[in-house]
Amino acid sequence: SVPPGVLPLCHQPLAWGRAAQQPLSPLQPPGLPLAPCRAFSNNKILVELDESSGVATMKFKSPPVNSLSLDFLTEFCISLEKLENDRACRGVIVTSAIPKVFSSGLDITEMCGKSTEHYGEFWRAVQEAWLRLYGSNMVTVAAVNGSSPAGGCLLALSCDYRIMVESPKFSIGLNETKLGIVAPFWFKDTFVNVVGHRVAERSLQLGALHPAPEAHKFGLVDELVPEEKLQEKAAAVMAQWLALPDYARQLTKSMMRKAVLDRLVAHREEDVQNFISFISKESIQKSLRMYMEMLKKKS
């Protein structure tokens, strides 16, 4: 709905390897025509579109912890693209169908003991997911109904508004340093745009996971609600944002986010190579293996 001559938000075609090899059609639920997607469920994400309100809900349902695997990210991008191109859809609520966790972040198994090519493919999918969500023309509301570390936090940060269940048992943050890895510059840029430079500097260095009340205090999330009110609140916030004319709202959103989106677009391949060479270091691989074994023992 953005007319020509105006800078639209970032909408690049799906470009990474896997998507190019796999046709989109197998992901379509059987019995639905290709063009007007109204509701579709894939393996890892359930998408429902309420045509009367124009609001879709994306529910992450990839047990045990909605980790962002290559498959998950591929599905996420395809789902988002479908909604973006669907004229009946103006907003998306992103939430989890798994109790107690929104998303545990990037899937460590994709970064451990794999080939250089695999690391590259995975990282392009992470970039793509962020570019599409942070640059979406739709209104995006995160209904954070569980813990949301690292990449899970990034997804929430990339939405227009964040509502979180008020329980201090659930925490959120970019805790990469705790694992011995480093959030890339565009995670950092997204974080700084939400909480400011100082809070980001401290929180990123400490790899802090903030309990919901603390996260709310410094603006990492916009609002806290009891769990049973979350979906109702998300719908109300969505309605408030959808009351604005789409075109003016989209141009304004683009103006606010363009600099940060453009920075990754300009350095995308460099960022992939950085990731590959960092993650391929033996010291980093060792850290990740130890972390995974610790997780196994826990469960």
Q: What is the DSSP string of 93-119?
A: EEEESSTEES--EE-GGGGSS--HHHH
Give the interface segment with its own copies, choosing from 8-16, 36-44, 146-154, 186-194 (CB under 8 A): 186-194
Q: Decide if residue 116 touches its own copies (CB under 8 A).
A: no
What is the nearest approach in angstroms of its own copies to the Cβ of residue 177? 4
- Report the C-alpha gap between 284 and 281 in whole angstroms: 5
Nearest to 101 by CA among 44, 155, 63: 63
Q: Which is nearer to its own copies, 8 or 17 (CB)?
A: 8
Q: Which of residues 16-45 bind its own copies (CB under 8 A)?
A: none
Neighbours of 132 (CB within 10 A): 22
**Contacting residue, 18, 241, 267, 292, with its own copies by CB under 8 A:** 241
Q: Decide if residue 249 touches its own copies (CB under 8 A).
A: yes
What single DSSP character describes residue 177? G
Give the interface segment with its own copies, choosing from 38-46, 65-73, 264-272, 281-289 (CB under 8 A): 281-289
Q: Which of residues 121-180 bind its own copies (CB under 8 A)?
A: 160-161, 176-180
From 121, 128, 166, 176, active-site residue: 176
Q: Decide if residue 266 touches its own copies (CB under 8 A).
A: no
Contact by Cβ (8 Å): 39, 47: yes
- Report the C-alpha gap between 168 and 226 in whole angstroms: 11
What is the nearest approach in angstroms of its own copies to the Cβ of residue 5? 7
What is the nearest approach in angstroms of its own copies to the Cβ of residue 17? 26
Q: Is 166 one of the annotated active-site residues of the chain?
A: no
What single DSSP character describes residue 51? T
Handedness of CA 106, 107, 113, 118 (dihedral sign): negative
Q: Report the DSSP pairing between strands 139-144 and 55-60.
A: unpaired
Q: Is 106 one of the annotated active-site residues of the chain?
A: yes
Local structure of 67: helix, strand or coil: strand
The torsion of the CA quartet 127, 128, 130, 136, rounded to 10 degrees, works out to: 150
Q: Decide if residue 4 touches its own copies (CB under 8 A).
A: no
Single-letter residue type at 136: S
Give the interface segment with its own copies, choosing from 25-33, 95-103, 198-206, 227-235 (CB under 8 A): 198-206
Q: Which residues bind its own copies (CB under 8 A)?
A: 3, 5-6, 160-161, 176-183, 185, 188, 192-198, 200-202, 204-207, 219, 222, 240-241, 244-245, 247-249, 251-253, 255-257, 277-278, 281, 283, 287
